Structure 1
């Protein structure tokens, strides 16, 4: 019974994150550090499952935990109606509509576009690939979120 509850606690936020992600037109840049951390996490949890459990329910819990971590790291993004962000203190992605955003700063780094989004009293940081620059700027301009020029570092 406990395994069923744990499985549900992992599957429900994962499904919710996939639902929020459907609104995205542009996803955040895949960070190689985060991919490495996900691989280490998958390896360690697989070892724990193999050593301690080896049941089908345990394997489903293992897969759902890895998938949840994947959705947190790689599914936030920018959509036509708003931005999906990882809140940091919750395993679910938060969809912030453009009218809920207080301020947004766009900074251009060497190969990235960095957004700093101020909403709900918090600041969220997202990094997008340079190839998506035109789409990002277009979406933000359509919603009147860019004030002035882009900061080039």
Structure 2
């Protein structure tokens, strides 16, 4: 049973790692997500130590923490579209520019907020202001091709 659970966490983690490799710009890492992931890692490790305390149990903890990291920090902009977290499953979804219904970019304080509408859903992503020129250049180029 533990091997099945390990595979349930490992397959989406590996998939998210491979889809992330093509990102030009990644979403901004928010400190609150880093804090929550750290708390989750400590809590999961303590549970594993108390209830299981096996090597396979610790592998499950490590892979589950990696999965949460890939979901939180690996969405981004690619040359041919976007990687978004859908919310219903642990896999990142790749949206090609031709499949977009609409997108908008709003700037506030030190963030760029990208709102993507595709497949009947709206996805919100936050990027660092330092990546503004690269993001705008990529989105303008793709917007002209629509």
Q: Tell me, yes or no, whether TM beats 0.5.
A: yes
2:33 is matched with 34
Give matches, 1:108-127, under 5 Å.
108-127=107-126
Following superposition of structure 1 onto structure 2, how do residues 1-153 of structure 1 map, counting pairs within 5 Å? 2-144=1-143
- The CA RMSD over aligned residues, in Å, is 1.4
Contact 1:76 1:93 in 2 (8 A): yes
- Residue-pair matches, total: 146
Distance in 2, Cα, partners of 1:10 & 1:60: 10
1:102/1:118 contact within 8 Å kept: yes
**C-alpha displacement of 1:23:** 1.4
- The structure 1 segments of at least 4 consecutive aligned residues displaced by more than 2 Å after TM superposition are none
Give 1:144 deviation, angstroms. 1.1
Kept in 2: contact 1:14–1:67 (CA 8 A): yes
- Which consecutive residues of structure 2, in runs of 5 or more, have no partner in the other structure? none
Shift of 1:41: 0.6
Q: Distance in 2 between matches of 1:144 and 1:68?
A: 32
SS in 2 for 1:88: coil
CA contact (8 A) 1:23 1:81 kept: no
* Contiguous gaps of at least 5 residues in structure 1: 146-153
Asked whether the equivalents of residues 112 and 127 of structure 1 are also in contact (C-alpha less than 8 Å), the reply is yes
Q: Is the 8 A contact 1:87 1:93 kept in 2?
A: yes
